[in-house]
Amino acid sequence: MAQEEDIKYFVRVSNTDLDGTKPVHIALTGIRGVGMHTAQIIATLAKVDEKETMGRLKDEEVDRIREITDSYSQRVPSWMMNRPKDVYTGESKHLLGTDVSTSREEDINLLRKIRCYRGIRHETGQKVRGQRTKSTGRTGLTVGVKKKKE
């Protein structure tokens, strides 16, 4: 019963509240930009058991996880990052949190600005990656045939 009381239900890592009742490698995926593979690597680099419940970790272990997530891009090769070659700077980065959505919006705006095919498709709200559009992806209008009134 004493173990149930000392669990922290929220653990703050990289400006995100993580679920303290889940294992470390599952809880870390709550951060945007961190998937299962990245979470396992972070747990390994921080020397933390990835199967351990996040809320039961000691403060030193949580601090090590915070440090690793902040310096992740310096510790892994460029092919392990979610942005291996940035369009603007040319350097490899691993984006976390709100940076992921911000950079995605910037990339789409760049495509629109240079008027490339993908940018135009984004503007018009059509499929971008070559999917069929004759029968799927219809929005707004009613799909189907109306029956004539007699």
Q: What pLDDT, in 10s, does the model give residues 70-109?
A: 999 999 999 999 998 888 899 999 999 999 999 999 999 9
Determine contact, residues 29/37, Cβ cutoff 8 Å.
Answer: no
Backbone phi, psi, residue 36, to 5° = -65, -45
Q: What is the mean pLDDT of the chain?
A: 90
pLDDT at 2: 46
pTM summary value: 0.79
> For the chain, which domains are there?
2-78 (1.10.8.50)
Type of residue numbered 114: I
Binning pLDDT at 50, 70 and 90, where does residue 141 land? low
Taken as a whole, the chain contains a residue count of 150
- Per-residue pLDDT tens digits for 21-52: 999 999 999 999 999 999 999 999 999 999 99
DSSP reduced 3-state for 127: coil
CA-wise closest residue to 94 among 80, 106, 110 = 80
pLDDT at 147: 76
CA distances, 47 to each of 7, 114, 123 (Å):
20, 46, 46
Q: What is the C-alpha separation between 72 and 130, in angstroms, rounded? A: 34
Average pLDDT over residues 105-132: 95
- Burial code (b: 16+ CB inside 10 Å, e: under 16) for 65-100 equals beebbeebbeebeeeebbbeeeeeeeebbbbbeeeb
Structure-block tokens of residue 137: 């992806």
